[in-house]
Structure 1
């Protein structure tokens, strides 16, 4: 035996299975998280939230330009529906590809897509005017659809990203969404006030939006490399890795991973033979181990030649390759289906935990899209002219920011009460509809009441559109937070889509659109000076009637 060992008899042991987490951090470790100095990460996420909704807001906030360019059309309704439908499809695709592309790649893709789309519209359509009106209308809707793809990929990814951070950072992104509307509205008011040329001030308006988008892109990539973000992202990813390792250990076949050795066996003549490969598990005896293999694999073992020296190591390796190649082929065949099944099961489990929040955010944005921007853009003011839709959108966006800031204040919302309060927002629909019908002599007349209702709609949208998104990730494990963020975004997109479609039904109930604001007001009074859109200096000195 000693002579045989000196000639190379040995034992083959499998390496210990185990993975060390890259960050070296465990959720059970007593480690103090790094701080967010001067709330730099928080502010960067506010700006990031503004960045992915800024392109769409740029289109709809230029409502005065597009209504003047396409009088009598439903251009704002068409933009809204195009954006929402494309966004809904995009968020479904993004949920399917969440594990195929890394989060920074998805967000960068969205920024680049939005940047080139806005550049094309500003230069080719607005400045150079290379297209006819009919073609330009079609190209505008295509541009809105392309922007929807980029924005939705970013939005879904950002919510998954912030779900791995403390919950106040989810509220930061939501505040940024509203801030996008405020920034764009301020941009539009200034450009419209300083320049009377509608085409020129709209080109400058889009140029400022493009510059802001670039700033958002740079700030995001700087902040995501901070120690604060790295700590929390690594923590959540580490929990996920440990869960996957545990699943692999539980589902792996012990007969292939436990012990591979050269053992002594007796041949038929009763003499000892050494070097026959046997793969066995501690749970089975040597005599039982052969039954763990398929017939072909067992045959490969049974007929393995007797090995007496390390000169026969090549034959030993070839025999082992036959066994493991069959196992690998079996594994590859079912790996794709197992991944899909595991993903669906995970999403189902997350949905069961957060479905009240999914319903709340769906209801919140359904009501909002029924009225904004479509119905609000149809409210006519012969006194304010083309300023009226701009002011209405500015009022909504400003109050939306306030609502999302209020959502950061901790409050113990029960699930039922949250859903009920969100549903009560339906009352905003008849109130704003009474401000638009009939077109020239609405039931609720004047400029003040529509603005007040728009403020109420924005305030409630900001609050009840944020609270469900903030609370939902707290009801799932850390490793499922990114998926939770994507599922909540899917519910959000469903509410947007349904609300945008319902806006067409509400618009159908109104009188048909005929001509521009000036044309509609001319039927009310022959004094055309009263129907001419006032300039900003006149507007600021005007006392709005109640």
Structure 2
């Protein structure tokens, strides 16, 4: 496995001037001495020009940008979480339909297809336009369910025309996810590492928020039809509010000096590349994609493997296969909350310590396969291993490793390419992640621990 890590972009831009040139040229990957000398010569030749073009990055708005990227990360997963958390209510309304499985297939298949579409058009389209359009679609999809419930369904069962509409909104949400997630991850990849860390941590915060809402609604509302209806509507209303906040925040963060600085770096790099290579053709774009895939393929493989392992265990095994006489139906809820909290902790840990060795990161992802025999032991092993404590500890470790390694991979991958291609690398990593989500879902369907 041939890995090479470019220096962190935080360090690259810290000195401005000559350091900024390293943003425009990727480091040689496992290259010869001659290739390294050529790259060094190119950097040196551009240093004088870059000193004038690229002053040190502004610090104004850096913390605000960090917070907003955290909010955006939480936001783009919230619509899916709203649909899947309200699945009890949908299962009550449509008892003859396998709601949870249909939702998963409809969302993930659509999301994957449109991620490929976004990859194909990313060089010809604007990421801000895709993100704004996707957030707008999210608002519409989240509005459909409570409006339809108030005006048409009204808690009545077996109105399967409404079920078709609901599945249609899930499909639309999958389209919106592809537009927003790829855009936000792509743009975060063009910025210093801490902004990708904020985005990925935000995705975990979305899970924590949903778990908190699930616990609150279970405590507040009776677990009958009316209680399930109120809970579902609450999930969607909260989702709508968060999407509107995301729309406002995203259009604000685009104007912050720290973000504009790095966007200008990308624009200059693209102009320079186009002046050297000419206008981009379809064959040139395909060649570029292949080159980026070669650079990040092992990180992408590891990203897929993380979610194959995680989703083949969580939440299916957690909610269906383990039981507690003491905690009863609170047990799976508490396990899911524990997973989500430790997933957030893992994704925040990269702000404290970032594992920069790509080989170790990939090997660590492979070692997560050990969770399979460990969780099997919780079902069929010694009696002490079947109790609540081992299951809880393993579930929290599953979340912690999922969070930390996901954050590491998503931070490292865009730094393996030049800044003008960081967005594309980010989109490709999201596609690898989607492959892992689909693979994990399939394994959880056809193979039960």
Which TM-score band applies after superposition, normalised by the shorter structure?
Answer: 0.7 to 0.9
With over 3 angstroms needed to count, the CA separation of the structure-2 counterparts of 1:433 and 1:80, relative to structure 1, is: farther
Aligned match of 1:85: 109
Aligned match of 1:409: 352
Aligned match of 1:218: 248
* Alpha-carbon displacement from aligned partner over 1:371-397 (angstroms, at most 9, x marks no partner): 223332324445544433332322221
Aligned match of 2:289: 347
Number of equivalences? 394
1:378 counterpart = 2:402: no
- Larger deviation: 239-248 or 72-81? 72-81
Alignment of 1:221-236 (within 5 A): 221-236=251-266
**Aligned partners of 2:162, 2:447: CA distance in 1, in Å?**
27
Aligned match of 1:396: 339
* Alpha-carbon displacement from aligned partner over 1:54-106 (angstroms, at most 9, x marks no partner): 11112223355456666797543443333222221111011011123211110
Q: 2:371 is matched with which residue: 428, 442, 462?
A: 428
Aligned match of 2:429: 488
1:76 touches 1:373 (CA, 8 Å); kept in 2? Answer: no
Aligned match of 2:409: 468
2:299 touches 2:413 (CA, 8 Å); kept in 1? Answer: yes
Q: 2:196 is matched with which residue: 167, 170, 174?
A: 170
**Aligned partners of 1:464, 1:457: CA distance in 2, in Å?**
11
Q: 1:147 is matched with which residue: 173, 177, 192?
A: 173
Q: 2:158 is matched with which residue: 112, 132, 140?
A: 132
With over 3 angstroms needed to count, the CA separation of the structure-2 counterparts of 1:445 and 1:67, relative to structure 1, is: farther
2:414 touches 2:426 (CA, 8 Å); kept in 1? Answer: yes
RMSD: 2.9
With over 3 angstroms needed to count, the CA separation of the structure-2 counterparts of 1:152 and 1:131, relative to structure 1, is: farther
- Larger deviation: 155-164 or 390-399? 390-399
1:361 touches 1:492 (CA, 8 Å); kept in 2? Answer: yes
**Aligned partners of 1:69, 1:370: CA distance in 2, in Å?**
27
Aligned match of 1:365: 307
SS of the counterpart of 1:178? helix
Aligned match of 1:45: 69
**Aligned partners of 1:430, 1:41: CA distance in 2, in Å?**
42
Alignment of 1:199-218 (within 5 A): 199-218=229-248
* Alpha-carbon displacement from aligned partner over 1:269-310 (angstroms, at most 9, x marks no partner): xxxxxxxxxxxxxxxxxxxxxxxxxxxxxxxxxxxxxxxxxx
Q: 1:187 is matched with which residue: 194, 198, 213?
A: 213
Q: 1:32 is matched with which residue: 43, 56, 65?
A: 56
Aligned match of 1:459: 400
Q: CA deviation at 1:169?
A: 0.6
**Aligned partners of 1:122, 1:28: CA distance in 2, in Å?**
55
With over 3 angstroms needed to count, the CA separation of the structure-2 counterparts of 1:242 and 1:364, relative to structure 1, is: same
Q: CA deviation at 1:131?
A: 6.4
**Aligned partners of 1:72, 1:460: CA distance in 2, in Å?**
37
* Alpha-carbon displacement from aligned partner over 1:341-369 (angstroms, at most 9, x marks no partner): 11111111111222221111111112122
Alignment of 1:63-74 (within 5 A): 63-66=87-90
Larger radius of gyration: 1
**Aligned partners of 2:131, 2:237: CA distance in 1, in Å?**
21
**Aligned partners of 1:436, 1:26: CA distance in 2, in Å?**
65
**Aligned partners of 2:132, 2:379: CA distance in 1, in Å?**
41
With over 3 angstroms needed to count, the CA separation of the structure-2 counterparts of 1:462 and 1:154, relative to structure 1, is: same
2:93 touches 2:158 (CA, 8 Å); kept in 1? Answer: no
**Aligned partners of 2:386, 2:93: CA distance in 1, in Å?**
26
Q: Which runs of 5+ in 2 are unaligned?
A: 1-47
SS of the counterpart of 2:192? coil
Q: Which runs of 5+ in 1 are unaligned?
A: 1-24, 249-334, 510-546
SS of the counterpart of 1:132? coil
**Aligned partners of 1:137, 1:368: CA distance in 2, in Å?**
29
With over 3 angstroms needed to count, the CA separation of the structure-2 counterparts of 1:178 and 1:89, relative to structure 1, is: same
With over 3 angstroms needed to count, the CA separation of the structure-2 counterparts of 1:70 and 1:457, relative to structure 1, is: farther
**Aligned partners of 1:402, 1:388: CA distance in 2, in Å?**
21
Aligned match of 1:477: 418
With over 3 angstroms needed to count, the CA separation of the structure-2 counterparts of 1:129 and 1:68, relative to structure 1, is: closer
TM-score by length of 1: 0.66
With over 3 angstroms needed to count, the CA separation of the structure-2 counterparts of 1:43 and 1:147, relative to structure 1, is: same
1:64 touches 1:386 (CA, 8 Å); kept in 2? Answer: no
**Aligned partners of 2:162, 2:316: CA distance in 1, in Å?**
20
**Aligned partners of 1:429, 1:71: CA distance in 2, in Å?**
32
TM-score by length of 2: 0.80
2:71 touches 2:202 (CA, 8 Å); kept in 1? Answer: yes
SS of the counterpart of 1:364? helix
